[in-house]
A and B are shown apart, each in its own frame.
Chain A
Amino acid sequence: MTSTDETTRVIPLKRPFTFKRWFSRTGWRHLVGIVMVIFSAFPLLYVLSASLNPQGTLTGSNELFSRVGFEAYARILNSPDAPFAQWFGNTILIAGTTSILTVFLGALAAYSFSRMRFTGRRAGLLTLVLVQMFPQLLAVVAIFLVMSTIGDLFPAIGLNTQIGLIMVYLGGALGVNTYLMYGFFNTIPSSIDEAAKIDGASHARIFFTIILRLVAPILAVVGLLSFIATTNDFVVASVLLIDPEKQTLAVGLYKLVSNPNYADWSAFSAGAVLAALPVMALFLYLQKYIVGGLTAGSDK
């Protein structure tokens, strides 16, 4: 499929349009795209439909969009107990900070694993991944203990603080994502570092001004993954953040449906739809960095 790149180059552009050629070049890709969009989006239409039906349930009916109204959206946006706008802001702040710092800490580590040789390097890499394989059955109990101890001594960063929550998330900054970056770093030829070194650049300068630029696609991917994971985390955030005005969307929304008898699926769905928007926006924005490298390659 990739060879089409090359064949088109030698073919004069003025050739008349034929469906067959269009289809074999890009048309079939649209077909795949349409199939995948249906596969991806269809189950979520239930969520959208439930959010637009003020008495909506998620699974009771196959008559999607039998009622369309924005009462559920109004309900969550105006509820005095559910400071939705505040949760939204908190989520963006916490997820944004966490993902930026995760990318930063992860890139630092990946750089040292990729460019330096030291004792314990392989073992260290392996440990990073293995630690995250540990079943997390008791993670919340342990994290609660750590944070309540920290909170006793330094209330500003302990329980019920957003800084504290971000710190907990940063505990996962090194790990699988570091490995992903590490793999990408490895594909950058070390001759680039060598050249800069000969020019007298320090290791920090090489890292910040040269390497980070070249690995932009993977930084964007890791940033997005971390943003999504943080946005959707409920377990840790619900235990650490106690005051409603400090909570995140996930914590706030889960409370709407945690009691099955009183679950407000309509409002929850509306909240979930709104919560997905920043993720989509971020991905739309980051795409140019993720696939940017390819542009550079085909330009020349």
Chain B
Amino acid sequence: MTVNTKNLLRLGALLGVATLALAGCSPASSDDTTGDSASASTLTVWIDAERVDALKPAAAAYTEKTGVEVDLVSKDNATLKDDFIQQVPTGKGPDITMGAHDWLGELVTNGVISPIELGDKADDFLDVAITASTYEGQVYELPYAVENLALLRNADLVPEAATSYDDMIAKGTAAGVTYPFLVEQGVDGNPYHLYPYQTSFGAPVFGTDATGGYDAAQLEIGNAGGEAFAAWLSSQGKTGTGMFNTEITGDIAKTAFTSGDAAFWLTGPWNVGAALDAGINLAVDPIAAPSTGAAAPFAGVKGFFISEQSENKVAANDFLVNYMATEDVQTALFESGEVLPALKASAEAASTDPLVAGFAAVGAEAVPMPAIPAMGQVWQFWGIAQAAIINGEDPTATWQKLAADVQGAIG
């Protein structure tokens, strides 16, 4: 018996060797002639794991309508973009991938996505969605959702919305909870969550060019508003009121708010579910501004991209433009994720929910997160400077250094 097992294993090993020997190795040849004819009517779509459910009925309905199979491949969100960029040139990538608009710069510079012509349908989408999906004058993304921050309020603790940042802190403090106000930070800061306050002081990152796109040549971050923001941030940090704390991570904020220990929480729609599940009486308010300008957060637009190397571009375009851009499908996607749809009609329908309407109202002020490659140079200095200011470094000097570092890196 023992001899048999051994031989079996030996056989297995040798078979492995044999199959391997057969396979041999060589870098992928680009003149690969073994194109799979079966894929002519199969669209491969890469998609976040948590959206598969929502797309399944839509995909099935499309297959029924056109005969085109839609193969939904759930991918790891963290590696999706790099996998896509690496695999498209080999011809092995998907036809369509789900993604976010701030990938545009990287995807276009790598030549892995092709433009999408929305035609008259462009008017059916929220303005911010179309602006965000446009890169160097071309639309590359079919948007399906718009995400932005808003102010969550525990209505049992504070029945009225705050009129300004100071009012919010006063109301939160009056509620007598551990945290009048929570915002997610981290050891390296979190500029995304501080951006509304920065814009309130009139300091966006970049200016815009004639077409409305961000212009790396017009760096605005270091303007006078930026320094005013830095001074204010310092006053709310460790040496000031202590409202901002780099120790408060997303998890800590979530736990505190859901256990009723916080009055206000600046966060995105992704945390609404957790707060409702915890039985919080939730209201979504505009972001209470610390200064004269509106507190405009970044908008992140989720959508779909078509691979430049797709062999099924007609089906891919038809699926996205003539099918995914319809109200039914956008509404179905909304129901799975509770994130504001990018299509106006669906967005209106969704806004009957006051919580969604709250986010939509803030979203009307939101500006697309810059997708230009220069933004990458900003992130690496931005958060660390803000964290330093929160922790008591000199605000003006730190902010000036930030602006200089970014300017130097962009060149």
Contacts and interface: CB of A to CB of B under 8 A. Distances in A.
Interface residues of B, number: 51
Contacts of B77: 255, 258-259
B76 A254 contact: yes
Interface stretch (B17-25, B166-174, B216-224): B17-25
Contacts of B12: 97, 101
Given A100-B9, A262-B50, A157 B23 contact: yes
B23 A81 contact: no
B252 to A, nearest CB: 5
B64 interface: no
A150 B16 CA distance: 14
A214 B10 CA distance: 19
Given A60-B254, A157-B23, A258-B76, A55 B92 contact: no
B86 A144 contact: yes
A154 B86 contact: no
B261 to A, nearest CB: 10
B74 interface: yes
Contact of A238 (B10, B79, B253, B259): B79
Given A60-B251, A105-B13, A208-B6, A55 B274 contact: yes
A165 interface: no
Contacts of B252: 59-61
A102 B196 CA distance: 55
B336 to A, nearest CB: 11
A57 B255 contact: yes
Contacts of B34: 152-153
Interface string B22-62: 11111111001010000000000000111011000000000
Contacts of A261: 268, 270-271
B66 interface: no
Given A208-B6, A256-B49, A55 B258 contact: yes
A242 interface: yes
Contact of B50 (A239, A242, A259): A259
B49 A81 contact: yes
Contact of A251 (B29, B76, B278): B76
B228 interface: no
Given A81-B49, A81-B52, A149 B28 contact: yes
B348 interface: no
A265 B255 CA distance: 13
Nearest to A103: B9
Contacts of B251: 57-60, 265
Contacts of A125: none
A236 B48 CA distance: 19
A167 B83 contact: no
A35 B259 CA distance: 33
B53 A81 contact: yes
A148 B79 contact: no
B277 A255 contact: no
A265 B250 CA distance: 13
The SS class assigned to the A binding surface is helix
Nearest to A108: B13
A140 B24 CA distance: 18
Interface in A115-142: 140-141
A170 interface: yes
Given A57-B254, A60-B254, A153-B23, A262 B270 contact: yes
A65 interface: no
Given A159-B92, A238-B76, A259-B78, A154 B249 contact: no
Contacts of A153: 23, 34
A244 B49 CA distance: 10
A104 interface: yes
B255 A60 contact: yes
Interface in B229-250: 249-250
Contact of B16 (A57, A152, A167): A167
B87 interface: yes
Contacts of A104: 9-10, 13
A146 B25 contact: yes
B364 interface: no
Given A144-B90, A148-B92, A258 B19 contact: no
Contacts of A157: 19-20, 23
Contacts of A238: 76, 79
Nearest to B19: A157
Contact of B255 (A61, A80, A100): A61
A80 B271 CA distance: 23
B256 interface: yes
A188 interface: no
Contacts of B397: none
A26 B9 CA distance: 42
A180 interface: no
B73 A242 contact: yes
Contact of A59 (B48, B53, B249): B249
Nearest to B78: A258
A260 interface: yes
A77 interface: no
Nearest to B29: A149
A256 B75 CA distance: 10
Interface of A: 55, 57-61, 80-81, 97, 100-101, 104-105, 140-141, 144-146, 148-150, 152-154, 157-159, 163, 166-167, 170, 208, 238-239, 242-244, 251, 254-256, 258-262, 265
Which A-B residue pairs are the 10 nearest by beta carbons?
A60-B255, A261-B270, A60-B251, A255-B49, A259-B77, A258-B78, A57-B251, A150-B23, A258-B77, A258-B76
6 contacts: A101-B16, A104-B9, A149-B25, A157-B19, A256-B49, A261-B270
